[in-house]
Amino acid sequence: MEERGINMLFVLGGNGTHAGAHAIHEECGKRRLKIAVVGVPKTIDNDILLMDKTFGFDTAVEAAQRAINSAYIEAHSAYHGIGIVKLMGRSSGFIAMQASLSSGQIDICLIPEVPFNLHGPHGVLSHLKYLLETKGFAVVCVAEGAGQNFLEKTNATDASGNIVLGDIGVHIQQEMKKHFKETGFPADVKYIDPTYMIRACRANASDRILCTVLGQNAVHGAFAGYSGITVGICNAHYVYFPIPEVISQPRVLDPNSRMWHRCLTSTGQPDFF
């Protein structure tokens, strides 16, 4: 940037990307370079602190509906059918919660912020049997970061330095098949993992407008001389945040929030303790 005379840098991404933007901003300060470094929050996980919503979240929730619909059809079309959908969400269950709430087809939603048991009288498997006996089928939505305590830790990290998570979706599928086989209760388990299909798609109208406004505000901030900031929505207002404030830790879902309680009401699931 110094060699090429670049005086504005716009960085789009999540917590890791913003940490990189902050490091560049700090280095520019050390070199006394007049370069504005401004972030634009883009993550489908919706896990950046202090922000109402990040670009990509609405589209991901909408795309997740297709996977949930497929799981519902598979489960509903089989005798004692169970459809499992694993959605993205390393440390937060916003996608799983919103997708479950909006679909109206989910019976069990499992997220990283709320611990649960699989086995036992109050576990997920016990409730699944009840659903199969009463409804005849069940649909389960699980966030990728949920139930990691059931999986063996490898301590491996990806290119961004994040711990590689175990596959909770496959684990739950195997545990279900094993449990119902051992108990002699017939169950047809189908597993759907849309992975990047909920991210690698065109932005919907809501996200397009959000991204446009965030981009415009980022440019306004850079031309005004701000640096080391990111743009976002807070309490329905477009504001500038200091980057260190929003990357100190991931934003997580509040299990006591009214939105999570709405999700529980929609699914009808109990506490799995």
Distance, CA of 256 to CA of 113 (rounded, Å): 11
Q: Which of 45, 47, 58, 207 is catalytic?
A: 45
What pLDDT does 158 receive? Answer: 72
Give the start-end residues of each E strand in 34-187.
36-41, 81-87, 108-110, 137-143
Would you state the pLDDT for residue 164? Answer: 81
Catalytic residue check, 167? no
What pLDDT was estimated at residue 199? Answer: 92
Q: Which of 104, 183, 114 is nearest to 142 (CA)?
A: 114
pLDDT lower than 70: segments of the chain = 160
pTM of the model: 0.93
- Interval 113-154: pLDDT, tens: 999 999 999 999 999 999 999 999 999 999 999 999 999 887
Closest by Cα among 214, 226, 202 to 52: 214
